[in-house]
Amino acid sequence: MSLKLPRAMIDEMVEQALDELPNEACGIIAGRGGMAMKLYRTVNAEHSPFRYNIDPSDLLRVSREIDDNGWDVLVIYHSHVASEAYPSPTDIRLAQWPGDPPSDLFPGAYYVLVSLKDREAPVVRAFSIQLGEVTEVELQAS
């Protein structure tokens, strides 16, 4: 399994992560048929270096535009300012709707993490998180 994103989108995620220091950055990439169409920078409502939460008004605005264009949520991304590019237990929990049984918040979406642990050499990795199961996927720049 792999995720292909334009190099410009990968660079923009890193740029946003650096711009929003000391807090985590977050956003959404819309796509169609696995092809990335548009990157949306969103506000981290937590304003925190330790967690993210896409601002509800941003989520509504982006969701409407994605629906209006017939796209899907391809990627949810965020940064880790001082830790590895790997989903934390909180990240994994936030990828699911609470309930019994739990379900994925964005079925089929990938989760991309930007690590700024080494700010001179940010690391970007992609994952599938399905029902709490984390699987790394190959991230290809196109």
> Rounded to two decimals, what is the model's pTM?
0.94
pLDDT of residue 10: 98
Tens of pLDDT, residue by residue over 93-103, are: 889 888 778 88
Tens of pLDDT, residue by residue over 1-10, are: 899 999 999 9
Q: Tell me yes or no: is domain 2-141 CATH 3.60.130.10.
A: no
Alpha-carbon gap, residue 37 to 4, rounded angstroms: 11
Domain locations in the chain as residue ranges:
2-141
Alpha-carbon gap, residue 79 to 122, rounded angstroms: 10
pLDDT of residue 43: 97
pLDDT of residue 37: 97
Question: 134 exposed, middle or buried (CB, 10 Å; 0-12, 13-18, 19+)?
Answer: middle
Question: 62 exposed, middle or buried (CB, 10 Å; 0-12, 13-18, 19+)?
Answer: buried
Tens of pLDDT, residue by residue over 41-98, are: 999 999 999 999 999 999 999 999 999 999 999 999 999 999 999 999 999 988 988 8
